Chains A and B, each alone.
Chain A
Amino acid sequence: MSASGNWRIAPQPGEVIDRSQKVNFTWNGSPASGYAGDTIVSALMASGVRVMSRSFKYHRPRGVITATFFDPNCSFQVGQEPNVRGAHRMVRNGDDVNAQNAWPSLNFDIRAANQVVGRFLGPGFYYKTFIKPQKLWPAYQKVLSTFAPGGAPPAIGTPQEIFDKRFVHPDVLVAGGGPAGMAAAIEAARTGAKVILVEEEYELGGHLRYGGTESLATLAALRAEVASFDNIEVLTDSVVSGRYDDNWVGVVQRSGIWAKERMIKARVGTLVVAAGLIERPYVFEGNDLPGVMLATAALRLIGLHAVKPGTSAVVFTANSTGDEAIERLRAAGVSIARVLDARKGENVTRALGRGQVSGVEAGDGSKTSADLLITATGWTAPTSLLNMAGDRPVWNAAGARFTPSELFHSSVMAAGGIVGDGTTAELIAHGRAVGIEAASRARGEAAKPVAALIPDAHPALFQSTTVGFLDLSEDVKNKDIVSAAKEGYDSSELAKRFTTSAMGPSQGKLEMVNTMAVLAEATGRDFQSTGTTVWRPPYAPISLGALAGRVFEPDRVSPMQLWHEAHGAKDMVAAQWIRPEHYGNPQAEALNVRSNVGIIDLTPLGKLDLHGPDIVKLLNLAYTNTWDNLAVGSVRYGVMCAEDGVVMDDGVTGRLGDDHYLMTTTSSGAGNVWDWLEMWLQTVHREWQVTITPVTTALVSINVAGPNSRELLSRITDIDLDPAVFGYMKVRQGTVAGVADCIVWRIGFTGELSYEIHVPASYGLHVWETLLEVGKDLGVAPFGIEAQRILRLEKGHFIVGQDTDGLTQAYEAGLGGLVKLAKEDFSGKPELVWQEALAGNYSHLVAVETVDPLLVPAEASQIVENGNEIVGRITSSRMSPTLKRSVCLAHVPASLSTPGSRLTIVLENGDRAAAIVREDLAFVDPEGVRLRG
């Protein structure tokens, strides 16, 4: 059925539409219109559209059920955005609204054929079909992506939307802006409390908004009172998504000014849950036909959007809301074809019709023509926030609904309809009492009880005598639960997972209680022992964007970063730092280091300044090697292992004075090592006196490397660089480029003669530019991380985390010579004692030469034996500009670790390549002549 007619009625006193502002949009490509203030669904209903989507499994036509955010079959594709909740989202000019999961057209859906075979898709279809075999998962995914109720993801290149986060600390946060919630906020604010009032809809008011004139007058007075308090912040179109430890409360703000969606994280004194009640659908044959809707849906469409939902209605009512709907439908011009009153024992057994309600069959077998069937059969208290605070709701048989047990944490309270029934005045009075008490508890005063509201007596109505849909978003029928129970899935949690009932977009709000009722009946148990499943956060859907929010973690840069960028640096991100990967030609940069001199910005190197008399003890504990005899003016390389013997970090530490050392760590390990050293000092050896100051960003670090490095540095420093007095692994302090108090040490990660200069950070750029200026004739040029990685690989130096992994113990990394087992204690010692006893029977880090010298296998390429058995991997690989051949490090088993062993490497394209294990880890200058020069 296509859109037809005008279903808009005369202006209603509480309508939220602006009739002076027409909104034009498209529905499945055809022009459609509504008014500002219309939701997509109300605009469509006003144009006569009744079929909003096709159902998930059986592709049955589906219409409006609740006319709220969680209406199960009213999700649309709007432009690039899938899964838009159409009964909540305001329609905008130019919106391109499309039904989801409908092909080739909504009214003639070829997959409706599934209805015929649907009986073969039994309950547990997903659970049983998809659990195994695992190798068929790709096939399942294909099937699921065709059938899943979702829309299409945004196309690549769609502008990214902005999400944000906010942190607040209210005394009282009220979840739900109906009469009780507004009253609670008002009274809490009156005591001076800082209050946040959160309402899921666009306006405060709850059910008062679509009530009669009396309700609207009460609402106007409450709104005015809320507005009179500066200390109430109202968040509309926002929903409390979860309550966590110590009243950490998440609020999703859907229409912020800055961001598409904002996650508000609130640390709340007292959380007041005033979520009201959710109307419960009734299960009977045809209950999913467009035209079957809840009484509250009819009241909303008429009262808020002035839309007549049909022409002729049968109303099945069990309560005053159903009775009110009869009056309001009549006033809206809908003829009431028949009233079936559950309180008199009357019942509905079938909605008749194909694609749309055309009649209703009553419990007595009589049939009535109608295009609308309105049900008012009971309420569900949305207690999930209370569950998250420890509550286990109890079944109130008289009221036929779960009510809070009041056993939840005292920092959480419930107000209004979620607790029980009352007149509007009684709901407001309850809200006021809770608000006063909530503010009192937030001030730290002892908790006092607030008299609860009692649910009115209500017939227990869940399912008729016929088979219908329990879960309209997941296409689960009542008979499916019965067969699940027969198959042994008879606990509520098992039945839910088996049938997927209550697991769809409505998240149990509509279908949970009916599911439990059917299960209770099928298993012959009562309601309380069947139990609802535990509601877990989030209460409402949250986009992943809002969860991520803005990333507050700052990127770090060295003071020379602007220089690097101005000189052609291609940046990379490593361990929170943005740094130059290279300046255009890493191979040439590496060659220049080997033949002339290069300088590299190593500022991200972790640096810890150590002071105190017990530093040697700390170093002996943290490093695997010995530090007793390190003289002032010397540096030493060390490796740190965790208590499991796994290589954790490495670096050079220099002794600057009697009780003063400078430790360097890897860039990514700086924070961890600092925390770890504090652990030893604060929890294991509290008597040791060592003070650790992180100086990573206080010092700029520049490595000057290459045969001309001594000549270059000698032009700008007063430090005596004569190798006879300033040899390899020595440290000196002095003036560099006029900057006093620089620390210079000689080390050789690149394998070349090199000096690492640590300069007060604000002078870093000056020293950097001076080096380049005075060394022009020496061929000085900057080099980046990539050239450094080539150089160190040529030298056979490993990198923690690259050539080791989370399981590599020290001996496996070839670090046996640095492990001093004779020391009384050091981190990881027991594990390394046991590893050493294996006498080489573990995997080894080795240097590898491919037989084809120009072949560079990708890092992480597997090394195999006996066909496909994986026995090792390439950990690092590069083309060496110095040797004009590929150079690799690899982890191999002991049996393949002896020099000359032949390896088989699996390449990315599946081909195999041969390689030989080398004698020495270093490809270039194994004797270390260059770096000791």
Chain B
Amino acid sequence: MLVIDCPYCGPRNSTEFRHAGEAGKSRDVANSTPAEWRRYLYEFNNPLGWVREHWFHSSGCRRYISSERHTGNNEVRWVVPFGTPAPSTTSDKETGA
């Protein structure tokens, strides 16, 4: 089980969190075609590599947070409050965001 270092609470088991999806999705209610909307709803990049994603600390501070995790070995290299700029450890190219 992963440890996620919540910026508000400190390191906690991932069972305290609810995974809240990959970062970088845009919600366009006004202009989406059905295909685009369903891609927004259901499709994820899910690459083997570094992924930016969101978590909700549901059994802790109840804040949304953002992280970057490697899907191959589950290493989490940073966690920040939602809406904070990502640390400059990675290029956007690398994250695919």
Binding site for B on A (CB under 8 A): 244-246, 248, 267, 390, 409, 643-644, 675, 678-679, 682-684, 686, 824-825, 829-831, 834
Contacts and interface: CB of A to CB of B under 8 A. Distances in A.
B41 A644 contact: yes
Interface of B: 1-3, 13, 18, 20, 27, 29-30, 32, 34, 37, 41, 54, 56, 58, 62-64, 73-74, 82-83
Nearest to A683: B64
5 contacts: A248-B13, A675-B18, A675-B58, A679-B20, A824-B30
A898 B21 CA distance: 42
Contact of B1 (A244, A683, A829): A244
A246 B29 contact: no
A678 B82 CA distance: 12
A831 B29 CA distance: 10
A245 B74 contact: yes
A679 B2 contact: no
A682 B29 contact: no
A770 to B, nearest CB: 37
B15 to A, nearest CB: 10
A684 B20 contact: no
A244 B73 CA distance: 10
Given A246-B1, A825-B30, 5 more contacts: A246-B2, A248-B1, A675-B18, A682-B64, A682-B82
Contacts of A831: 37
B1 A679 contact: no
B1 A675 contact: no
A825 B54 contact: no
B3 A678 contact: no
Contacts of A829: 29
A686 B81 CA distance: 12
Contact of B82 (A683, A824, A830): A683
A678 B34 contact: no
Contacts of B27: 643, 684
Given A678-B64, A683-B82, A830 B37 contact: yes
Given A245-B74, A246-B3, A248-B1, A825 B58 contact: no
Contact of A267 (B3, B63, B83): B3
B79 to A, nearest CB: 13
Nearest to B32: A830
A652 B54 CA distance: 31
Given A246-B3, A678-B64, A682-B63, A643 B41 contact: yes
A858 B38 CA distance: 36
Contacts of B56: 675, 678-679
A679 B63 CA distance: 9
Nearest to B42: A644
A245 B1 contact: yes
Contact of A686 (B3, B18, B73, B83): B83
A683 B25 CA distance: 12
Nearest to B66: A683
A830 B37 CA distance: 8
Given A679-B64, A683-B64, A830-B32, A245 B83 contact: no
B71 to A, nearest CB: 12
B72 to A, nearest CB: 10
B37 A683 contact: no
A299 B34 CA distance: 72
A824 to B, nearest CB: 8
B8 to A, nearest CB: 12
Contacts of B62: 678
Given A678-B62, A683-B64, A831-B37, A825 B20 contact: no
A831 B38 CA distance: 9
Contacts of B54: 683
A432 B18 CA distance: 42
A185 B40 CA distance: 52
A830 B74 CA distance: 35
A686 B1 CA distance: 31
Contacts of A675: 18, 56, 58
Contacts of A643: 27, 41
A248 B18 CA distance: 19
Nearest to A674: B62
Contacts of B32: 830
Nearest to B23: A683
Contacts of B74: 245-246
Contacts of B73: 390, 409
A851 B50 CA distance: 62
A830 B33 CA distance: 9
A578 to B, nearest CB: 22
Contacts of B29: 824-825, 829-830
Contacts of A267: 3, 13
A834 B41 contact: no
A54 to B, nearest CB: 41
Nearest to A692: B62
Contacts of A246: 1-3, 74
B89 to A, nearest CB: 19
B10 to A, nearest CB: 13
A643 to B, nearest CB: 6
Contacts of B82: 682-683
Contacts of B64: 678-679, 682-683
A678 B65 CA distance: 12
B73 to A, nearest CB: 7
Nearest to A830: B37
Nearest to B4: A246
